[in-house]
A = this chain, B = another copy of it.
């Protein structure tokens, strides 16, 4: 457990996630950040954490604060350490604004290397009308106490990764076969999700939630690395306080690529985010 997780319940705006995604304005549209080593999986910086950093810079650069739809193309592997985010306001409108952002780090000669490029349209979730005509219900989840995380046993559920200490991740046993040597063969992964320090979810942390579970490829029976090529997230509602349920599905594994579709449900049973990523399968 990290220090803050043992302290009182953290709040939005004053938590490890908020501190580790905080960007500093350096000049108009340009932000500095020191990427935290706290959100790494083995040695890779988590793609959802990186998207949250970019999403936060855009929230500052644009006149609207909430990412309605954000598309990221992952170019090169990010490392913990200094980075710069360059933003570009593409269009501002009354309801929506569109922006672009790139995350850069530095090579051995100090030259900028682009890590991720993002296009996004932002709006104001609180200004939307209240109509909800969602036709789907949350998937069936066992109660949280019947789900399992890295702290619950000897199974190596991301246990060696720094990010595991910062997340409350409780996997549905039905999608945990891979950790016990008997993957289900289905492209499904489901978990209760939160931040370990108790900070509630907000639109920014939803960008983390959609990319924080083990890859569905594990349950399909593949091991190895599944790097994201592109990830698009739609944030559809401000999440209610309390833990989230994240359900990820892969329907099409072909030609060495697969898609991961995530749905995120809040404690009020509302579908608060949908995402899809295209990932490469690098069989280990």
Contact = CB atoms under 8 A, between A and B. Distances in A.
Interface of A: 68-69, 71, 73, 75-76, 90-91, 95-96, 98, 100, 114, 117-121, 125, 128-136, 186-187, 220, 229-230, 232, 234, 236-237, 250-257, 259, 270-271, 274, 276, 278, 280
A177 to B, nearest CB: 16
B121 A98 contact: no
**How many copies altogether?**
2
Nearest to A127: B255
Residue among A68, A120, A254, A278 having the largest count of chain B Cβ atoms under 10 Å: A254
Contact of A255 (B90, B130, B229, B251): B130
Contacts of A121: 73, 229-230, 278
A259 B276 CA distance: 12
A125 B186 CA distance: 25
Given A75-B98, A91-B76, A186-B135, A69 B278 contact: yes
Contacts of A73: 69, 71, 90, 98, 119-121
A257 B272 CA distance: 12
